[in-house]
A = this chain, B = another copy of it.
Amino acid sequence: MRATLMYGPGDVRIEDVPDARIELPTDALVRVTASCICGSDLHPYHSMDPAHGPARMGHEFIGVVEDVGSDVATLRRGDLVVAPFAISDNSCGFCVEGLHTSCTHEQAGFWDGVPDQGGQSEAVRVPLADGTLVKLPVAEDSALIPSLLTLSDVFGTGHHAAKCGGVTRGSTVTVIGDGAVGLMAVLSAKRLGAERIVLMGRHRDRTDLGRRFGATDVVAERGEEGIERVRELTGGHGSGIVLEAVGHMPAYEQAVGVVRPGGVISRVGVPQYSRARVGFTSLFGPNVRLAGGPAPTRAYVEELMPDILDGTIEPGLVFDAVTGIDGIPGGYRDMDERRSIKVLVRP
């Protein structure tokens, strides 16, 4: 079968690999019908150590169950399923609490911990299939597929940002980053009732989509100028809730700059730094809280899916390009060079 491998910075290749197959009785074999490239895939695209490669790529997909292991109880051949970006048993203490990203099962974890599997391919062996996969009540050619695919990661991640930030009806929220996750954070904040949503981003096509998703203001300026602008828009003292959807240090610093005393910075951009300012003059003095992390998107599927199915929201608008599997390397380039927001893959 065909799959995506990353060999090093800027070096993504489509290659023939051994067919995915059931290995454990809790596995499902899924034929991928829709997958995509993630903003977080661009981090190794910039900085991957070739000695750690080649790496199989992709952690967001929808597909059809082709086979199941003998212990799989809830899925059968022909089911259309969506795979969250974290593998979990959906039954341990953390899963029950809704923190599937901290599932204690020995097979749990992120896709990059599963050898020789990845969503940017024709098929995937899915560990802990009963826990991980969620059945979709539509056909594989449904027009809702792009939106349902965002339940794998970006929509759930935007929702996680908003939940960890405590967004409720009437909130004032600033979203840092106009990538797919930032746009999903806007949509999620709007969905939870935020009244004022300031989107910090400088790509007009993206911020226009952000406005469509619910942003009330767009700030294209960065650094001190951007901070001043957000403060002007939010009553002078900053934004009580800041959703950081980038992961680079300038975005963290931007968040510290625009957050209101007593407010919260909710991070969902995977941090590309280990240490950051948390002392008296940054977080401590103004009693600013730091929250967020990788989203337990499995926990949110049941809450978010109905709004997609009934057409209330259309997170799939975040996909502005579609390609076959051979177009994936070009998709990475397009996303890296900001020609595409997010690329949908139809293998």
Separation of A93 and B238 alpha carbons in the complex (Å):
13
Is A290 within 8 A of B281, CB to CB?
no
- Please give, as numbers and ranges, the residues of chain B lying within 8 Å of A294 by CB-CB distance: 284-285, 287
Contact flags (1/0) for A272-304 with B, using CB distance below 8 Å? Answer: 011111111111111111111110100000000
Q: Cβ of A171 < 8 Å from any Cβ of B?
A: no
Q: A97-B262, A99-B262 are in contact. Are A279 and B274 (CB under 8 A)?
A: yes
Among residues of B, the one whose C-beta sits closest to the C-beta of A235 is B93
By a CB distance below 8 angstroms, the chain B residues around A261 are 94, 99, 102
Rounded to whole angstroms, the CA-CA distance of A94 and B289 in the bound complex is 16
* A267 close to chain B: CB less than 8 A: yes
Contact of A286 (CB < 8 Å), options: B102, B270, B275, B276: B102
Q: Using an 8 Å CB-CB cutoff, how does the interface string of A96-136 with B read, 1 for contact, 0 for none?
A: 01010110100000000000000000000000000000000
- The reply on A347 being an interface residue by CB < 8 A is no
Quick check: A274 and B277 within 8 Å, CB to CB?
Answer: yes
**Closest CB of chain B to A291's CB: distance in Å?**
5
A158 at the interface (CB under 8 A from B): no
- Determine whether A201 belongs to the interface, using a CB cutoff of 8 Å to chain B: no
Q: Indicate which residue in B237, B279, B287, B289 contacts A289 across the interface (CB closer than 8 Å).
A: B289
Q: Are B279 and A288 in contact (CB under 8 A)?
A: no
Given A94-B261, A262-B97, check contact A102 B287 (CB 8 Å): yes
Interface presence of A271 (CB below 8 A): yes
- Report the minimal beta-carbon distance from A41 to chain B, rounded to whole angstroms: 16
State how many copies of this chain the complex holds. 2
Point out the residue from B237, B275, B296 that lies within 8 Å of A275, measured CB to CB: B275
Complex CA distance for A288 and B93, rounded to whole angstroms: 16
Cα-based distance from A261 to B93 in the complex (angstroms): 11
A99 engages B287 (CB within 8 Å): yes
- Bound-complex Cα distance A270 to B287 (A): 12
A270-B289 in contact given A275-B275, A275-B277 (Cβ < 8 Å): no
Given contacts A99-B262, A261-B99, A262-B97, contact A278 B271 (CB under 8 A): yes
Indicate if the CB atoms of B287 and A279 lie closer than 8 Å. Answer: no
Q: Is the CB of B287 within 8 A of A101?
A: yes
Residues of B within 8 A of A287 (CB): 99, 101-102, 164, 292-294, 296
Q: Would you give the shortest CB distance from A95 to chain B, in whole angstroms?
A: 11
**In the complex, are the beta carbons of B280 and A270 less than 8 A apart?**
yes
Identify 25 residue pairs between A and B in the complex whose beta-carbon atoms are under 8 Å apart, listed by A's number: A94-B262, A97-B262, A101-B285, A101-B287, A102-B261, A102-B262, A104-B237, A164-B289, A273-B279, A274-B279, A275-B275, A275-B278, A276-B276, A276-B278, A276-B279, A278-B278, A278-B290, A284-B292, A285-B293, A285-B294, A287-B292, A287-B293, A289-B291, A290-B290, A290-B291
Given contacts A164-B287, A275-B276, A278-B278, 11 further A-B contacts (CB under 8 A): A94-B261, A101-B287, A267-B284, A271-B284, A274-B277, A274-B279, A274-B282, A275-B275, A276-B276, A287-B296, A289-B290
